[in-house]
Structure 1
């Protein structure tokens, strides 16, 4: 299957897909993204097949698979939609942060004395010869501090002056999808295991070379070594949906939507519909905009539901929908 999809995608320059599959009634309905750093000319088929193998051994079945050119994935906006908050913070800077992330940033700015923060793309304009790779390297060398969901800060420098940069790795991450011949692998998966178990035990640590051999990142890291491919925390080979909300939207965008189906055709979307959550309320959660809680604090909907059990996420969304705060109800 993997080799046939890769061959077809390369021959046509377009998406190759195994075709529709029944919506699962499982605890977790997620997407695994096999990234371009391992989906190269010499290793794409092996990387996709290895991901399928590890998923199967970890009790995660593959319902459907697709392969598409990485440049097409980027150009169609899939990468932006895959990591909406990462992109928003990199583009809009502090204005895009949730309440908790703003507090974390305030403490960091006070300790560092840099005075203010800029998003990664604003940082790129502050230094004429600064490349995405150089900004990424500079931020990683300085250290990357997590402020909140999809929100990271590095105290580094721009034009020789101290500066705090938000999501400084993002331009380099996006540039990784522009390499000639690179592909992206997409696997729609289901499992009776909860997402926190899949991510904690099956996905593996951020750096593939430090991940256990039986994990997705460990297995793909070993394959990358065989092909002489360098991986890192930023080029980490594979992503698995971080929560039931994220998994729902990814399964919809990559598989159901191209078939003309709505979000309600996904497993979690169906559960929300059965509990009376309107399509408008569900759609309002897609872009992961800040959502106001009863306390007045704002949260990232995707981040606030990361790694939570399915029942807990259902309850959280039902509460959001009942208040109607920002959900278009």
Structure 2
């Protein structure tokens, strides 16, 4: 897919105010990495969207990544349809449910942080929003980032900050501001279904770029889109980092399915990774059950995130790991 084709897609989405799509592929790639790049609303504004989407396609093409299909969706529609919630299921669950959603390892990290900080109150981000009159999502985000964001585990972050003058540990305190970023009229979301012979962990380290666009390499996705935004007077930040690339083969499968194959009425088994799981004897229902990234429980009682446990794994290792979960004993969901 060319940069010019994706420019035309953006133009149609702006004209119609609805999702535009280049249409289904005949078959998913048989091997390699099959994943999604999401270009976020902060660089898909009315004056930046065409250049941002085209720039992403150019960077990917130069990194041995083919764009198989593209879609452009109004940002508000993306959020209203639940795509944002489903794109970051663990981020949202922790922000809404608080510490009950943490895995065993993340709970240990939280206890260590609280012991060091001397705090006892832990709130999910949305509960925190109710504890101080006039607190805005941006205020909470800024407080948490100023205090420091500590990674507890996959999709699980904590900040020791203050509410009404009292210290409190807030989980995923940036999430309300992130969600608010999908509410501005005229902004779009770009979705690129991608394939590469390169492993996803390599693409994330060499092509995605550092979390803060200002610190990302110029040839990376975040570096290129961050420079584009700055040239138009928009400064991005660590929280507004322009672009997401699937964190692993399992997450990539669900994103390719949800944004593209499902819209055509096809199941998760129509994706490359899903097809290989089926060939290894994993029922499609067992595969689909992992989409929401609910905790799995080992025989020992330890809980873990299936999406997090497959981040950084090479494709064959990820396939073996998911097959073991589906066929092993002593695993459940919580």
TM-score using structure 2 length: 0.97
Of 73, 85, 88 in structure 2, the residue corresponding to residue 83 of structure 1 is 88
In the alignment, which residue of structure 1 is the partner of 2:304?
Answer: 299
Q: Which residue of 1 aligns with 2:279?
A: 274
Q: Does 1:262 align with 2:258?
A: no
- In the alignment, is residue 150 of structure 1 matched against residue 155 of structure 2? yes
Say if 2:109 is the partner of 1:92.
no
Q: Partner residue of 1:233?
A: 238
Tell me the residue number matched to 2:57.
52
Paired with 1:131 and 1:258, the residues of 2 have a C-alpha distance of 35
Structure 2 unmatched runs, 5+: none
Structure 1 segment 100-249 matched on structure 2, within 5 A: 100-249=105-254
Write the distance in 1 (CA, Å) between the matches of 2:299 and 2:9.
48
**Cα drift, residue 79 of structure 1:** 0.4
Q: 2:23 aligns with which of 6, 19, 22?
A: 19
Task: List aligned pairs for 1:289-328, cutoff 5 A.
Answer: 289-323=294-328, 325-326=331-332
Q: Please state how far the C-alpha of 1:294 moved relative to its aligned partner.
A: 3.1
- Between the aligned partners of 2:242 and 2:262, the Cα distance in structure 1 is 25
Distance in 1, matches of 2:171 and 2:195, equals 34
TM-score under structure 1 length normalisation:
0.98
Deviations 1:134-184 (A, max 9, x none): 000000000000000000000000011000000000000000000120000
Are the counterparts in 2 of residues 39 and 185 from structure 1 also a CA contact under 8 Å? yes
Structure 1 CA distance, aligned partners of 2:121 and 2:287?
A: 35
State which of 7, 10, 25 in structure 2 corresponds to 1:6: 10
> For residues 27-42 of structure 1, what are the structure 2 equivalents within 5 Å?
27-42=32-47
Q: Aligned-pair distance for 1:230?
A: 1.7
* Secondary structure in structure 1 of the residue aligned to 2:332: coil
Q: Give, in angstroms, the shift of residue 293 of structure 1.
A: 1.9
- RMSD across aligned C-alpha pairs, in angstroms? 1.1
- TM-fit CA distance, 1:326: 2.6
The separation in 1 between residues aligned to 2:103 and 2:134, in whole angstroms, is: 32
Q: The residue matched to 2:282 in structure 1 has which SS?
A: coil
Paired position in structure 1 for 2:66: 61
Measured against aligned partners, the alpha-carbon deviations of 1:203-226 in whole angstroms (never above 9, x if no partner) come to 010001110111000010111111
